[in-house]
Structure 1
Amino acid sequence: MTMHTGGCHCGNICLTFETELDLSQIEVRACQCSFCVKHGSRAVADPDGRLIISVKDSARLRRYRFGLSTADYLICGECGVYVAAITADDDARAIVIINALDDQKQFNQKPIPADFDAESKAQRQARRRARWMPVEVSFE
């Protein structure tokens, strides 16, 4: 497994993205929803990989939901960095925002614009179960 680490700017949220894929095999997506566009978001996931999120102060973690309310968008309430999105299902899956990774420049593929506005709630949940990765969240 290759590990890509990172987190928010102030250090409250730490990330570890584990994957066996070579970076050239990972699709970088640029969601075209207004939230992601405003954040300049570039996201990746490996359905066979894993994202580990460690939060030092849970009071400084902000979860934002919008649209179909099927995911929590994780933002540090202290420094404002958008780090990941996690499904709101019992079997949580996630994407990691590569702008929050320390080695973000290694993800140099051109992002593929993705527009999911036409998806139903069921379609969105199914896509995320298939394409997003398992996630573990811990609070110190």
Structure 2
Amino acid sequence: MTRVFSGSCHCGSLGVRLRTTLAPSEFVPRRDSCGFCLRHAARVISDPKGWLEIAAPREATPYRFGMGITDFHLCPRCGCFVAASWIDGDHLFGVVNVNALDERDAFSAAPVITDFDAETRAEREGRRRRGWTPGRLAR
């Protein structure tokens, strides 16, 4: 059965929809140990067999840091971190911050702490191709 989990930033300007066949209990959120994720208390999930749609207002400029290959989608109005995306050729892959989902409480598994600082760019891109959710960015 396909499920759709929708959400947004606090003010509703930046939206997200995750289509998946997984139940909330099947997701294991990840919390990266980088300063960005710690400061935002981010819990991200992905489903490589699902589909992610990020609806960002035209004036929203994604934030980049580190390797500069990931777009972190934060609302330009209220500042909430909703999702992150990475472009591989003509394909977009992403993760969604569970805290931005309307049904956030259904995702009750404790986040696994991760540390990707030692990854090379090739290793990071390979991990994302295998594990992140394909999708699109709508403006």
Whether these two folds match at TM > 0.5 is yes
SS of match in other structure, 2:11: coil
Aligned counterpart, 1:70 = 69
| Inter-partner Cα distance in structure 1 for 2:73 and 2:88 | 15
Determine helix, strand or coil for the equivalent of 1:118. coil
Aligned to 2:123: 123
How many residue pairs get aligned? The number is 137
Contact preservation (8 Å) 2:25, 2:106: no
Q: What letter matches 1:58 in structure 2?
A: R
Amino acid at match of 2:135: V
Q: How does 1:45-56 map to 2 (within 5 A)?
A: 45-55=46-56
Q: Does the 8 Å CA contact 1:70/1:89 hold for their aligned counterparts?
A: no
Contact 2:11 2:78 in 1 (8 A): yes
2:78 matches 1:79: yes
| Correspondence for 2:34 | 33
- 1:75 is matched by which residue type in structure 2? L
1:33-77: per-residue Cα shift (whole Å, max 9, x none)? 11111110000000000111123x311x13111111121001001
> What amino acid sits opposite 1:103 in the alignment?
E
Q: Distance in 2 between matches of 1:23 and 1:9?
A: 21
Counterpart-to-counterpart distance in 1, 2:79 and 2:70: 18
Structure 1 length as normaliser, TM-score? 0.94
4+ runs of 1 displaced by more than 4 Å? none
SS in 2 for 1:21: coil
Partner Cα distance (2:87, 2:32) in 1: 18
Q: Residues of 1 paired with 2:103 and 2:77: CA distance?
A: 22
Q: Tell me the equivalent position of 1:100.
A: 100
Letter in 2 for 1:92: L
Cα–Cα, structure 1 residues 87 and 129, in superposed 2: closer, same or farther, change >3 Å?
A: same
Residue 25 of structure 1 and its aligned partner are, at CA, apart by: 1.7
**1:82 Cα deviation (Å)?**
0.4
**What is the letter of the counterpart of residue 62 of structure 2?**
R
Letter in 2 for 1:120: T
- Percent sequence identity is 36
* TM-score, normalisation: structure 2: 0.94
